[in-house]
Amino acid sequence: MHRAKAVARVIPAPRFALIEISRLRGHEQTRPTLLRELTEQIRRDGVLKRPILVADRDFVILDGHHRVEALRALGCKRVSVYLVDYDSDLVILRTWPDAGVPVVTKQDVIRRGLSNDLFPPKTTRHTLASPPEERPTDLELLK
């Protein structure tokens, strides 16, 4: 009797890239006060500290809506991102405790991003099972 070999499941790693901000699609709104504070911090630092997390097929922003809008306000045309296979087990989706929406699926996120029917601010919380490095990016590279 032969035993079937277990097949190791390969989870694709996030891919770092600089892409045009105009290609990105948000799935939730931003908070004006937080956006103003973050815009000023990024302007002061001259650096985007962490890349945005983006679904690789649809270019829907998973994490980083405020950072994208802050860069846009600063006149940047590009943004540093980690592109991820959203269907993979690498991406973990939860909701924030005060989200007001008890359950959100990955399909909901993509649908809202593609239709511009945005969730309220801080509804979804996307994390990666294996967090990538921070990779600070100078603002001059993003202009």
Residue 38 included in any domain: yes
Residue 5 included in any domain: no
> Domain count of the chain?
1
Residue 3 included in any domain: no
Report the CATH number at residue 136. Answer: 3.90.1530.10
Nearest to 86, CA basis, from 116, 54, 114: 54
Higher pLDDT: 23 or 134? It is: 23
Residue 9 included in any domain: no
Burial status of residue 102 (CB atoms within 10 A of its CB: 0-12, 13-18, 19 or more): exposed
Instruction: Please list the active-site residues.
Output: 28
Tens digits of per-residue pLDDT, 104-120?
A: 999 999 999 999 999 99
Residue 8 included in any domain: no
Q: What is the pTM of this model?
A: 0.90
Residue 102 included in any domain: yes
Query: What is the domain extent for residue 33?
Result: 16-142
Q: How many CB atoms lie within 10 A of CB 101?
A: 12
| Alpha carbons 42 and 8: distance in angstroms, whole number | 41
User: Which helix or strand (DSSP H or E) is residue 77 part of?
Assistant: none
**pLDDT > 70? residue 62:** yes
Q: How many CB atoms lie within 10 A of CB 130?
A: 8
| Alpha carbons 121 and 118: distance in angstroms, whole number | 9
Higher pLDDT: 77 or 129? It is: 77
Residue 11: predicted pLDDT: 67
Higher pLDDT: 82 or 2? It is: 82
Ordered DSSP codes for 104-132: --HHHHHHHHHHT-PBPTT-EEEEESSPP
